[in-house]
Amino acid sequence: MPHSEKSTTAFHRRYGPWAVITGASDGTGAAYARQLAAKGLNLVLIARRPGPLNELARELEQQHGISTRTANTDLYADGAADQVLSVAQGLNVGLFVSNAGADTNDKEFLAAPLDAWRQLINRNVLAVTELAYGFAGPMRYRRRGGIILMSSAAGLGGQPGVAVYSSTKAYDLNLAEGLWAELKEYGIDVLAGVCPVMETPSFRRNHKAEIPGIFDPEDVVTTLLERLPDGPTHIFPFGPDAANASTIEKARRDRVVVVANLVKQLFHKP
């Protein structure tokens, strides 16, 4: 068996047979869908726009012979996580990718209504937490699986113009690192992708400027799928932290390990 085929089989065994992807209709989400379908995983695809979502599902079923389920769910709304979990009910979900999360407000804190920030927090904090909880439980029972939470370089520190967004992405980053330490003994891999600016339809809908060093979402997804077994964090070199990305990544990982050991000593956990 060729090496690539062996790798695909091992990936399927570890993270299959089903994966759930939020924000799956285009950009990074569609890149995840295509790459995971190529690895033979069946997909639950979640996004707000049913047209592109259903078209992508048909494409992947025809090209790769996989099964799909789709739901046009607005993760801004209350109860959205329950809808996603309902769509995936009865499936053996081995991988959850939390990908929905762009800041569509593009305004300073007081320039947008408070409800806009409530909705952003609903999607990037509450829905992420509820979905991670819902999918991690069965993974723990089966003692295998993977969770990818898409964070952002904005989450590495406060950022004007996207103050609430950067705060939610810091939450996603910390959540992934904590879950990595808690769940790895159950065979569950958790990774936070601290992502750069990417050339996606979502980005272009809100920004027209040319950004030096902008990333291709296909490359970002390839890297994160490769890094998933390592965890808990992958920081892409972009923005003011680019030169120190690998140093920051290592320091954060080392800190999680130290804190996890300290917690065991303090609370006498096995």
Beta-bridged to residue 191, according to DSSP, are 148
Q: Using 50, 70 and 90 to split pLDDT, how confident is the model at 196?
A: confident
163 dihedral zone (left: phi>0; alpha: psi -120 to 50; beta): alpha
The alpha carbons of the chain give a radius of gyration, in whole angstroms, of: 18
Position 159 pLDDT exceeds 50: yes
Please give, one letter per residue, the 3-state secondary structure of the chain: CCHHHHHHHHHHHHHCCEEEEECCCCHHHHHHHHHHHHCCCEEEEEECCHHHHHHHHHHHHHHHCCCEEEEECCCCCCCHHHHHHHHCCCCCEEEEEECCCCCCCCCCHHHCCHHHHHHHHHHHHHHHHHHHHHHHHHHHHHCCEEEEEEEEHHHHCCCCCCHHHHHHHHHHHHHHHHHHHHHHHHCEEEEEEEECCECCHHHHHHCCCCCCCCECHHHHHHHHHHHCCCCCEEECCCHHHHHHHHHHHHHHHHHHHHHHHHHHHHHCCC
Of 3, 186, 19, nearest to 92 (Cα)? 19
The question of whether 165 is a catalytic residue gets the answer yes
Beta-bridged to residue 19, according to DSSP, are 43, 95
pLDDT above 90 coverage of the chain, percent: 78
The question of whether 133 is a catalytic residue gets the answer no
Mean pLDDT of 58-83: 94
Catalytic residue among 15, 32, 76, 165: 165
Q: Where are the domains of the chain?
A: 3-267
| pLDDT given at position 5 | 63
**CATH superfamily placement of domain 3-267:** NAD(P)-binding Rossmann-like Domain (3.40.50.720)
Catalytic residue among 76, 169, 250, 269: 169
Q: pTM for this structure?
A: 0.93
Mean pLDDT of 137-148: 98
Mean pLDDT of 179-203: 87
| pLDDT given at position 231 | 93
pLDDT digits (tens, 9 = 90+) for 203-247: 545 556 666 678 889 999 999 999 999 999 999 998 889 999 999
